[in-house]
Structure 1
Amino acid sequence: MARELHDGFGRGINYLRISVTDKCNFRCVYCMPETGVPARAHGELLTAEEIARFVRIVAQEGITRVRLTGGEPLVSRRIVPLIEEIRSISGIEDISLTTNGALLPRMAADLRAAGLDRVNISLDTLDPARFSQITRLGRVEQALAGIDAALEYGFTPVKVNTVVVRRMDQDVLDLARLSVDRPVHVRFIEYMPIGGGQGASAKDPNSGHGLDPHCGAGAAGTGGALNPDLWDASDVVPSAELRKRISSEAAAAGLGALEPVRDGGPLGAGPARYWAFPNAAGTVGFISAMSNHFCESCNRLRLTADGTIRPCLFSDAEYPVREALRSGDEDAVRAIYRNAIARKPRQHDDIDGTQRFMSQIGG
């Protein structure tokens, strides 16, 4: 196994998140405009071969875990062969994927056979009308069928990602209940302001308002409208507050209060802290990126669909690697990668937005 590289603050970097496309079959209000993202020239995006070549190089630098994101990665026709190629790379121990779940029922068998280990499915509400408002093109039944398919084909663990926005007043207890009867791990994620900075105004009708850590996050609005231009810091629901709310509502409903999970949670738990209802098959996790920064343990980098390395989701610093990949100069690729790690910031600042939106960064 290759020895992992460490950044300037002693953090070992072994996790790479890859955006394989900026396209999606939904049009979520926080992620992209109703008409979709502008078409990009073929040459602006990395090919599957170039992505695989990059993974092969950085696996020699200590990367052992890869997550494929989008946009929606399952709309990419190259996703199955790309997973097969990554699976063949020495040193890669875990391949995961973040999806809205809509295409999982018909693709799960091929993805599993190709070597995909696990999936995260984005789901912000179980209310059909609100789900349709958020996604514009989606139906909640699609996401639920995706969860069923993930369980049927043996992906493990199966995680459900929910971004919580205060004014949305989401059905959080109903979402948490998904963990009771099936081995599903529901993670509630504090709303984070991705996008809306200079060069990517949230008021730009050709842009969307992104949320991390998935493209398939939460939404908020006033009345029936879902208007990301209105979201602000007051919409952050601290994880501690949310956990107390869910626990209280669950106890009142006869489920029992949430209890801490002693073994730390499912594989790839990352920054989440896990709890569970008594005798539940799954868990309920909380990711507190705003109220309790976990930067000191961050072990990841991101590769965007257009070929830049992004050391920190909340920093606009990026390191272009596409041309080095296309030149075939592996030493140049390695040098850029090492430079990106060396310049990874100690922690993210409290921010009001980034220049790129989540559909462009990939989570």
Structure 2
Amino acid sequence: DFLKEIGIDGINFSIDTLDLREYFLLTQQDCLETVLDNLFYAYQLKIPVKINCVMDDTFHLKRLNDLMDLIKDKKIAVRFIELMPLNREQRNQKIKDVIKYLKEYPIQEYLDKLGNGPAHYYTIEGYAGYIGFIEALHYKFCHQCNRLRLTSTGKIKPCLFYEEMYDLKPYLNNEKQLRLHLEKAIKLKPKEHHFEENISYTRMNEIGG
């Protein structure tokens, strides 16, 4: 209710599975029902909601079908996120399998924007919701990326997949210098990632932010 009151314009829920046992194994938390209660309540309050589902090596088509059932009568976008290959062992082809499977349905590309993120969306005949894909590797979207990460240690990371970070802490009491160094970090944002070159990257849980 508070988030609705202050005018929040959207909430992303991370839900990789609707199976209670799998959810616990993935998250080490027995709270799927609580997450879904909040999802449906936000939807009831007309706060735009999206579901993010990371397609790791344990992903299977039942997860896809369960999430599709969830959006059959609700105008909610489910985004399937390609596992970001932050190290060489993390590469998989799950997203290709899902796209191939979905082509058996009457799907159509959705050309309007749903937010400012990199997902591309499809509608499915007979479904109120949307299916989206965020493919850092197979659908390279670096040219439209407008993201920076501020880490928990006060550093700006212009691209998740490069080691370069720029420390803003020394300038927090000087707005002019802070702006200058933030602009410098933005201008040094790499043109694109190079997953295909088998470079080893920092793991997400080491980045923070």
Which whole-Å deviations, capped at 9, do the CAs of 1:159-210 have from their partners, x for residues lacking one?
A: 100011244325112112322200110001111134x69xxxxxxxxxxxxx
Are the equivalent residues in 2 in contact too, given 1:180–1:277 (CA < 8 A)?
no
Partner of 1:339: 184
- The 3-state SS of whatever aligns with 2:72 is helix
Query: Which structure exhibits the higher relative contact order, with contacts defined as CA atoms closer than 8 Å and separated by 6 or more residues?
Result: 1
The answer as to whether partners of 2:84 and 2:136 remain within 8 angstroms in 1 is yes
- 1:143 Cα deviation after fit: 2.1
Q: CA deviation at 1:146?
A: 2.0
For 1:357 and 1:139, locate their aligned partners in 2 and report how far apart those are by CA, in whole Å.
23
* C-alpha distance in 2 between matches for 1:123 and 1:359: 22
Query: Secondary structure in 2 aligned to 1:168?
Result: coil
2:124 is the counterpart of 1:232: no
Once the two structures are TM-superposed, the CA of residue 301 in structure 1 deviates from its matched residue by 1.3
State the SS of the aligned residue for 2:11: strand
Letter in structure 2 aligned against 1:175: L
SS at match of 2:2: helix
Paired residues, number: 206
CA distance in 1, matches of 2:206, 2:123: 31
Match of 1:127 in 2: 19
Residue in 2 that maps onto 1:161:
52
Deviations 1:72-98 (A, max 9, x none): xxxxxxxxxxxxxxxxxxxxxxxxxxx
Query: Does 110-119 or 310-319 show the bigger shift?
Result: 110-119
TM-score of the two chains, using structure 1 as the length reference = 0.53
Work out which of the residue numbers 89, 114, 118 in structure 2 matches 1:266.
114
Deviations 1:298-344 (CA, angstroms, capped at 9, x unpaired): 1121212221111001112111112311xx11111011101101110
The aligned amino acid for 1:297 is Q
Give, in whole Å, the separation in 2 of the partners of 1:359 and 1:144: 29
- What secondary structure is seen at the aligned counterpart in 2 of 1:146? helix
Distance 1:148 1:343 in 2: 41
1:46-94 deviations in Å (ceiling 9; x for gaps): xxxxxxxxxxxxxxxxxxxxxxxxxxxxxxxxxxxxxxxxxxxxxxxxx
Structure 1 pair 180–300 and aligned structure 2 pair: CA distance change class (3 A): same
151, 168, 174: which one aligns with 1:321: 168
Deviation at 1:290, TM superposition (A): 1.1
Identity %: 32
Q: Which of these residues, 240, 245, 253, is aligned with residue 101 of structure 2?
A: 245
* Compared CA separation, residues 267 and 174, structure 1 to 2 (3 A): same
For the aligned residue pairs, the C-alpha RMSD in angstroms reads 2.1
What's the secondary structure of 1:286's corresponding residue?
A: strand
Structure 2 spans left out of the alignment, 5+ residues: none
Question: For the structure 1 residues 181 and 352, does the alpha-carbon distance in structure 2 shift closer, same or farther, using more than 3 Å as the test?
Answer: farther
Q: Structure 2: how far apart are the matches of 1:272 and 1:358? A: 23
Other-structure match for 1:287 = 134
Task: Quote the Cα distance in structure 1 between the aligned partners of 2:55 and 2:158.
Answer: 25
Using structure 2 for the length normalisation, give the TM-score: 0.88
SS at match of 1:181: coil
AA aligned opposite 2:148 = L
